[in-house]
Amino acid sequence: MGGVTVREYGLSFVRVCLQKYIGKSWPFLLIFLAGIAVSILLSVRGKRRDNPLEVVTVDGNDRNMNYGEPDYEEDENGGSTAKMFLSVFLICAVTVCNPFLVRALIPKLGMTAVYYRFFWVIPITFGAAYYLTAALIRVRNRVLRILAALAAAVALACIIPVNPGLLNLKLPTNVYKVDGAVPVLCEAIHADFETTAAYRKALKRSEANIDRNSEKWLRWQAGQYPLCVFPSQIEFAVRQYDPTIRLLFNRNLRLYYEGNRTTGITYDETKVRYQRRALILDAMYGRDESITTESFQEAMEKTRTKYLVVEENLANGGFLTGAGCTQVGVTAGYTIFRYGD
């Protein structure tokens, strides 16, 4: 959960995480908890009423000895299910949702960003659905049952917003379900890369018989594909579509550079490794005018970056071409630059 840390929130970390986890779907948590309470209450009352100790046969013998295994009839009020839900709830409360335990352990386990997953253990969705269904089937009249279901659905729909994912549905333009520019750009990069000396060198190496399990083979295998930098909006789709394109930025590093801190992973911005990568992106978009041609060239050579893809209207083209890049082409609204020959 982005921005929620044990260091900042201390003992209230669990509460804040739960609030963020459940959000405006809190009525479901309420239904779940109320369902458990009502079930247990009904179960206790039912047991008192049908207490086998009080059941005496006509001949006066206590039937208790012959009571045998409990069957479903006894569980008409969902008593055992409620007890199971309650067990899960209580055990989670004293273990994975215990603020003291969480404060001590979660940061050590490095699970601060993914702590919310422990809430999955509490079956709120299925418990709420169970009690909603159980309440509905108690209405014996079919027409009344349908009306009750509709009323409950409308009431809940008025309080709770729709799943945010469902509202963001964009129809795909191709069978790969990626931005239409991605296939075009990948093809253009490969077409150009195959004319370079680096590709010819890689081809020559492939003729040598290298052991597939050696470190050398791993290095060679990785080196035969062009190393690129893409705009953030399409970068994550590139290797899904074409894994023979290498990327300079890994997922977390790119998110960090773009200011996204939800991963919980931070990078030391004083490290040369980070600075070189950030410098390339800054130069691509002209974000930092103090960047010199020499520092850009050094960053490109040290990282062995070959291609830069920039939005046509945002490209810092003058600087890039002056610093040793060649404009390979403009396609699908993006400009492709190649560094070196």
Residue 225 binding other proteins, by CB under 8 A: yes
Comparison of 84 and 314: residue with beta carbon closer to other proteins: 84
> Of 5, 106, 113, 246, which one interacts with other proteins (CB under 8 A)?
246
Q: How far is the CB of 301 from other proteins (least distance, A)?
A: 17
Contact between 1 and 20 under an 8 Å Cβ cutoff? The reply is yes
Site string for other proteins, 126-155 (x = CB under 8 A): x-xxx-xxx-xx---------------x--
Beta-strand pair 227-229/246-247: parallel
Find the binding residues for other proteins in span 153-182 (CB under 8 A): 153, 156-157, 160-166, 169-172, 175-179
Unique residue bearing structure tokens 């086998």? 52
Residue 218 binding other proteins, by CB under 8 A: yes
Q: How far is the CB of 172 from other proteins (least distance, A)?
A: 5
User: Could you give the CA distance from residue 55 to residue 108 in angstroms, rounded to a whole number?
Assistant: 57
How is residue 112 annotated by DSSP? S
How is residue 327 annotated by DSSP? E
How many Cβ atoms sit within 10 Å of the Cβ of residue 336?
22
Q: How far is the CB of 17 from other proteins (least distance, A)?
A: 9
> Of 241, 257, 267, 274, which one interacts with other proteins (CB under 8 A)?
241
Question: Residue 131: exposed, middle, or buried by beta-carbon count in 10 A (0-12, 13-18, 19+)?
Answer: buried
Beta bridge partner(s), residue 246: 227
103-117 burial, b for 16+ CB within 10 Å, e for fewer? Answer: beebeeeebbbebee
Q: How far is the CB of 7 from other proteins (least distance, A)?
A: 21
Q: How far is the CB of 165 from other proteins (least distance, A)?
A: 4
> Of 5, 14, 28, 299, which one interacts with other proteins (CB under 8 A)?
28
Site string for other proteins, 193-212 (x = CB under 8 A): ------------------xx
The token pair at 341 is 């020959």
For residue 191, give every residue at least 6 positions away whose Cβ sits within 8 Å of its Cβ, in sequence order, or none.
none
Beta bridge partner(s), residue 335: 310, 330
Unique residue bearing structure tokens 């018989």? 209
Find the binding residues for other proteins in span 89-128 (CB under 8 A): 90-92, 95-96, 116-121, 123-126, 128
Comparison of 20 and 103: residue with beta carbon closer to other proteins: 20
Find the binding residues for other proteins in span 51-90 (CB under 8 A): 69-73, 75-76, 78, 80-81, 83-84, 87-88, 90
Q: How far is the CB of 302 from other proteins (least distance, A)?
A: 14
Q: How far is the CB of 83 from other proteins (least distance, A)?
A: 7
Q: How far is the CB of 265 from other proteins (least distance, A)?
A: 12
Q: What is the DSSP string of 46-103?
A: HHHHT-GGG-B-TT--BGGGG--S--GGGGTT-HHHHHHHHHHHHHHHHTTT-HHHHH
Comparison of 291 and 336: residue with beta carbon closer to other proteins: 336
Comparison of 227 and 336: residue with beta carbon closer to other proteins: 227
**Pure H helices in 95-141:** 99-109, 124-137
